[in-house]
Homo-oligomer: A and B are copies of this chain.
Amino acid sequence: MARFNTKPLSGTRDFLPLEVMRRSYVLRVVERVYQSYGFEPLETPIMERLETLLGKYGEEGDKLIFRVAKRGEKLARVLANAPDENNIADAGLRYDLTVPLARVVAEYRHRLPRVFKRYQIGPVFRADRPGKGRYREFYQCDLDIVGSSSPLVEAEVIHAGAQVLQELGFQGTGAEGFRVRLNHRGVLRGLMEVVGVAPALEEAALVAIDKLDKVGLGGVRRELEERGISAQATQALLALLEAAPQDVAACLAWLAEVLQPSKTGSQAVSELEQVVQALAGGPAAPHLRLDPYLARGLSYYTGAIFEIEFPGLSGSGGGGGRYDDLIGMFSNRSIPACGFSLGLERILLLMEERGMFPDHLAGRPQILVTQFDAATRPASLALAHRLRQAGFTVDLYPDLDRYGRQFRYAEARGIRYAVLLGPDERARQAVGVKDLSTGEQVEVPQEALVGWLAQRLDTCGQDDHGSPEPASG
């Protein structure tokens, strides 16, 4: 047989069991927190009509959509007659979870509650050049509230995101914690108005300001000038941004004063004030920081914008904002919306670097029932059933190999206890239990085994389950 390339396709990944368990651990926390805020799960197909996707992500985005080719007759006809990248395809792989949400809101309008709070977790696909931390197939965890303009919506979304990070173990606002940077598109627009950036150059200036983290103040100054913003306006804008107070209340007061001449700016400050008020007392509050620099790249935001920052580290823990003009794209009407997307891959990487995963992850077997010989096999099988009924996760060694080989297998799988049931143990109505973490072996009476193990292991074998009483042997 020819040699095959058995690596996953460039930009995609295989997740071996330990990696899946870690990802699942995080996703379970995400789901539990999102649900506790009243968000419901939505699932949409991996494949969408090509016309649903095209034109939604700009020209650059269109190029990054994976196209699924037509088949059979339909394909043959196109290939015979001026084929191009679009007419050979009738479907594409979803590029994000927002366009599918907009489609769902249009299609099921009458079946959805008037305020639709949904989360969706799943892979999206972008034909980007693969690189460190940049994949062609990667997960998004999206949280959106559709149908309300209330500032409570921003607060719910931000709190839910912050609480996920807290429950994963990111505590405080220091090196082990996170900050929630908050701003408003209208604040940025107001600032430009008061310093005299021409409206036509606003978007260009926003892109420049958004790079502050990467290029520093000097870099932003250069970018602004390159983009045609006058030296005077640039100077005034940077001076203002530097002068912004750190404290949330002080910053709001300062913004109100600075933006007083701009109607857009004043309106934005008043909206920000309401969001800040709604955030008081919840999990995000201690992490909150107003940041008039924050621009967030996507031009579709219309109101508050926010981003989770890990102090001193690049790459965000997630971000979002209000985007009132996007969800209605298939509905022929404007629908207010506000969302947050968790930076799952960044968070996983950080948690791995910092050893933040629990020792026992759901999905790992706790006990290996070993095999002695063909005659004792039925007893081994019965023991495995009994331990599973008692709530343990139990692997059963299938072959009649030497114990040494069975123990090595258990170690390789990270199994803590190997249970031995040979003729000697059976004669004494006992089982041998070898602790593979210490190498120690003890003998435990058969009727005491479940209790003995329950003292040392969780039943259910899962971190996200409670601990029901173990069934007595």
Contact B45 A8 (CB under 8 A): yes
Instruction: Name the one of B24, B46, B362, B465 contacting A46, with C-beta atoms under 8 angstroms.
Output: B46
Contacts of A84 in B (CB 8 A): 79
Cα-based distance from A119 to B318 in the complex (angstroms): 30
Complex contact B46–A462 (CB within 8 A): no
A380 to chain B, nearest CB (A): 9
Interface: A32 (CB within 8 A): yes
CB-contact partner of A14 in B13, B43, B368, B391, under 8 A: B43
Residue of A17, A71, A277 with most partner-chain B CB within 10 A: A17
Asked if A217 CB lies within 8 Å of chain B CBs, one says no
User: B16 touching A111 by the CB < 8 A rule?
Assistant: yes
Q: Which segment of A60-68, A220-228, A427-435, A437-445 sits at the interface?
A: A60-68
Docked CA distance A35–B17 (Å): 11
**Segment of A265-273, A301-309, A392-400 engaged in the interface with chain B:** A392-400
The 0/1 profile, CB within 8 Å of B marked 1, for residues 359-391 of chain A is 000111100100100000110011001001001
Verify if A195 is at the interface (C-beta below 8 Å from B).
Answer: no
Q: Are B24 and A395 in contact, with the CB atoms below 8 A? A: no
Shortest Cβ gap from A183 to chain B (Å): 21
Closest to A367 in B: B38
Interface string of A67-94 (1 = CB under 8 A from B): 1110110010001000111001101010
Q: Is A37 engaged at the interface, CB distance under 8 Å to the other chain?
A: yes
A79, B20: Cα distance in complex, Å? 39
Chain B residue numbers with a CB within 8 Å of A41 are 17, 20-21, 24, 363
Q: Does A132 contact B (CB under 8 A)?
A: no
List CB contacts (< 8 Å) of A212-246 with chain B: none
Among the 9-residue stretches A168-176, A201-209, A254-262, A278-286, the one with 4 or more Cβ atoms under 8 Å from chain B is A278-286
Q: Which of B20, B24, B152 contacts A381 (CB 8 A)?
A: B152
Binds B, one of A99-107, A185-193, A291-299, A342-350: A99-107
Give the residues in chain B near A13, CB-CB below 8 Å.
45
For chain A, which range describes its interface: under 10, 10 to 19, 20 to 34, or 35 or more residues?
A: 35 or more
Query: Does residue A96 face the partner (Cβ distance < 8 Å to B)?
Result: no
A395 and B1 CA atoms in complex are apart in Å by: 58
For the complex formed, measure the closest distance between the CB of A29 and the CB atoms of chain B, giving whole angstroms.
Answer: 12
Q: Is the CB of A396 within 8 A of B7?
A: no
Q: Are B16 and A398 in contact (CB under 8 A)?
A: no
Tell me if B281 and A378 are in contact (CB < 8 A). Answer: yes
**Cα distance, A137 to B122, chains bound together (Å):** 14
Contact of A388 among B15, B37, B106, B148 (CB under 8 A): B37
A466 at the interface (CB under 8 A from B): yes
Inter-subunit contact B409/A45 (CB<8 Å): no
Of the residues B35, B106, B108, contact of A4 by C-beta under 8 Å: B106
B468 touches A46 (CB 8 A): no
**Segment 1-31 of A: residues with Cβ below 8 Å from B:** 1, 3-9, 12-17, 19-21, 23-24, 31
Residues of B with C-beta under 8 A to A425: none
CA distance A184 to B373 in the complex (A): 25
- A63 / chain B contacts, CB cutoff of 8 Å: 71-72
**CB within 8 A of A409: which of B114, B330, B368?**
B114
Which residues of B lie under 8 Å from residue A378 when comparing CB positions? Answer: 277, 280-281
A461 located at the interface, meaning its Cβ lies under 8 Å from any Cβ of chain B in the complex: yes
Task: Report the separation of the CA atoms of residues A63 and B373 in the bound assembly, to the nearest whole angstrom.
Answer: 48
In the assembled complex, A156 has its CB within 8 A of some CB on chain B: yes
Interface residue? A454 (CB, 8 A): no
**Contacts A68-B66, A137-B47, A330-B6: A464 and B461 contacting too (C-beta < 8 A)?**
no
Please state if A48 and B6 are interface contacts (CB–CB under 8 Å).
no
**A7 shortest CB reach to chain B, Å:** 6
* Bound-complex Cα distance A6 to B382 (A): 54
Give every chain B residue within 8 A of A393 (Cβ-Cβ).
35-38
Residue of B nearest to A43 (CB): B15
| Contact A40–B17 (Cβ < 8 Å) | yes
Q: Which of chain B's residues has its CB closest to A32's CB?
A: B462
Which 10 A-B pairs rank lowest in CB-CB distance, beginning with the nearest?
A466-B466, A38-B395, A17-B40, A12-B45, A150-B398, A6-B107, A20-B41, A38-B365, A15-B43, A152-B398
Taking A8-B48, A152-B371, A281-B385 as given, write out 15 further A-B residue pairs in contact, using a Cβ cutoff of 8 Å, ordered by the A residue number.
A4-B51, A8-B45, A14-B44, A15-B42, A36-B393, A38-B365, A47-B93, A69-B89, A71-B85, A83-B88, A115-B398, A156-B398, A278-B381, A282-B385, A466-B468
Q: What are 7 pairs between A and B in contact, CB < 8 Å? A: A8-B44, A35-B393, A36-B393, A38-B365, A67-B68, A145-B398, A153-B398
